[in-house]
Amino acid sequence: MHRRSFLFGTSALLISQLLVGCNASQQSQLTVQVLKGSIPGRILKQFQESLSERAQLKFSPVVQLRELFKQLQSFQENKTAAKKSDGFNISLPFGESQQNNIDLVTLGDFWLQDAIKEKLIKPISPEKLKNWSNLSPKWQELVTRNNQGLVDKQGKIWAAPYRWGSTVIIYRRDKLEKFDWKLQDWSDLWREELKGKISLLNQPREVIGLTLKKLGKSYNTENLKEVPSLEEELETLNKQVKFYNSTNYLEPLIMGDTWLAVGWSNDIVSILARYRELNIVVPSSGTALWADMWVQPVGKAEEDLSNQWIDFCWKPEIAKQIALLTKSNSPIATDIEESDILKPLQELLLKNPQVFDQSEFLLPLSKSTNEQYNNLFNQMKSS
């Protein structure tokens, strides 16, 4: 699964460092590895101004979520290596001292289970977060997990979501306007008029998931064999598809080689304003959701400044700015109005409560269930 491990839109704001005040060595410090473009620079300035005492804010932008996860792994590997070398005069690059300097890291929800199982992160204390209650139960449940990384109401809190997006349909308005139907839901991908004009993500959970959604089932269906018409539906859908790709699916759409693509909202927001012939649909029966979250690496003592930052991101007025400036959605209820958003982005960024309630996160599945998805997906593409 490579969801959102690719380059964020070119319009994203670059955050390097914000160091404020003199006598920096005596100030509190917050060191964060953040997904590039997911936190605007002005938010850091506002956070600095909200603090009762000056502090150093060091935010290092990283382009890929996958790279952020790998960094968490390298911290743990270096810590283990440092312990093994105890008693010897061995200097390890990027060792435990660097790990101890990282307070928070952006992590995508897809990597949360592995981060927990591999003991790369530690739980967050919700009692120390004043704005934890601002999150709806759907978000609180997503990050409440047991030590195996599975959603568990009796588990601990492992992450703090600060923005989210979804899997959507993007299409060429000029190619579809001649038909007497309007694109609304996943079921439209099976229309005869679109045969050979579609690109799909090269992801079993996404493709099989949208087909399950068409059939009134969940993205997180445990036993695919219990859905009798699934294989037939996938075989028919495959005949509609021109190609499968998780990175370069927008270029053929822009050029007119395809008329419709299924993709991730964060890939799409940067091009909608530039290509007026493109439009999007958030499927009415619900879709897959993704989230960017703050996590705390193991080996780092919990700092008040980290909790203050998480709480700050959950203030409604700040959550609104993060959503609008990064062209994403917020897990916090905000007063975003239609007039706040450019018209091409309104379908994407104005949350429809009915659609949101029917949408799902791609939750961890068992090894045997994942094998079912992979095998069926490979069978589908070879049919």
Distances 279 to 136, 243, 253, 360 between C-alpha atoms, Å: 30, 20, 11, 23
Which of 55-64, 78-87, 275-284 shows the lowest mean pLDDT across its residues? 78-87
Q: Output the pLDDT for position 4.
A: 47
340 vs 3, which has greater pLDDT?
340
As given in the structure block, the two tokens for residue 109 are 């929800």
Same domain, 237 and 141: no
83 vs 380, which has greater pLDDT?
380
Is 10 within a domain?
no
The stretch 174-201 carries a mean pLDDT of 97
Amino acid, single-letter form, for residue 76: Q
Q: Which domain holds residue 282?
A: 166-288+357-382
Q: What is the DSSP string of 25-52?
A: GGSEEEEEEEETTSS-HHHHHHHHHH-S
pLDDT tens-place string over residues 65-108: 999 999 999 987 766 655 555 554 444 344 444 445 899 999 99
Average pLDDT, the chain: 88
pTM above the 0.95 mark?
Answer: no
Q: Output the pLDDT for position 78.
A: 66
pLDDT range class, residue 24, cuts 50, 70, 90? low
Same domain, 231 and 256: yes
Contact 149, 117 (CB under 8 A): yes
Is 58 within a domain?
yes
Contact 204, 371 (CB under 8 A): no
186 vs 87, which has greater pLDDT?
186
Q: Output the pLDDT for position 241.
A: 98
pLDDT range class, residue 182, cuts 50, 70, 90? very high
pLDDT at 352 exceeding the cut of 90: no
Half-sphere exposure of 264 (CA within 13 A, CB side): 24
The stretch 277-285 carries a mean pLDDT of 95
Same domain, 139 and 76: yes
Same domain, 298 and 378: no
Closest CA to 314 of 154, 149, 116, 139: 139
Half-sphere exposure of 216 (CA within 13 A, CB side): 3
Number of domains in the chain: 2
The stretch 174-189 carries a mean pLDDT of 96
Contact 215, 230 (CB under 8 A): yes
CATH of the domain at 213: 3.40.190.10
80 vs 201, which has greater pLDDT?
201
Same domain, 239 and 318: no
Q: Output the pLDDT for position 81.
A: 57
As given in the structure block, the two tokens for residue 195 are 């045969």
The structure tokens 């319009």 sit at: 11
pLDDT range class, residue 310, cuts 50, 70, 90? very high
Same domain, 53 and 160: yes
Is 333 within a domain?
yes
Is 9 within a domain?
no
The stretch 214-222 carries a mean pLDDT of 97
Q: Residues of 176-185 as b/e, b for ≥16 C-beta within 10 angstroms?
A: beeeeeebeb
Same domain, 225 and 374: yes
Contact 21, 54 (CB under 8 A): yes
Round to whole Å and give the CA distance between 316 and 134. Answer: 8
pLDDT range class, residue 218, cuts 50, 70, 90? very high
Q: Output the pLDDT for position 6.
A: 38
Distances 345 to 168, 200, 246, 276 between C-alpha atoms, Å: 12, 21, 21, 11
In angstroms, how far is the first alpha carbon of the chain from the final one?
22
The structure tokens 């935010």 sit at: 59
- C-alpha radius of gyration, the chain, whole number: 22
Q: Output the pLDDT for position 100.
A: 56
Same domain, 213 and 322: no
pLDDT range class, residue 9, cuts 50, 70, 90? very low
Same domain, 240 and 342: no
DSSP, collapsed to helix, strand or coil, labels residue 263 as strand
Same domain, 135 and 26: yes
The helix, strand and coil proportions of the chain, stated in percent and rounded to the nearest 5, come to 40, 20, 40
pLDDT range class, residue 301, cuts 50, 70, 90? confident
Same domain, 280 and 310: no
Amino acid, single-letter form, for residue 315: K
pLDDT at 21 exceeding the cut of 50: no
Is 46 within a domain?
yes
Contact 131, 315 (CB under 8 A): yes
Is 351 within a domain?
no
Is 2 within a domain?
no
pLDDT tens-place string over residues 103-158: 999 999 999 999 999 999 999 999 999 999 999 999 999 999 999 999 999 999 99
Which helix (DSSP H) or strand (DSSP E) does residue 237 occupy? helix 230-240
Round to whole Å and give the CA distance between 168 and 355. Answer: 12
The structure tokens 């917020």 sit at: 330
Is 5 within a domain?
no
Same domain, 209 and 276: yes
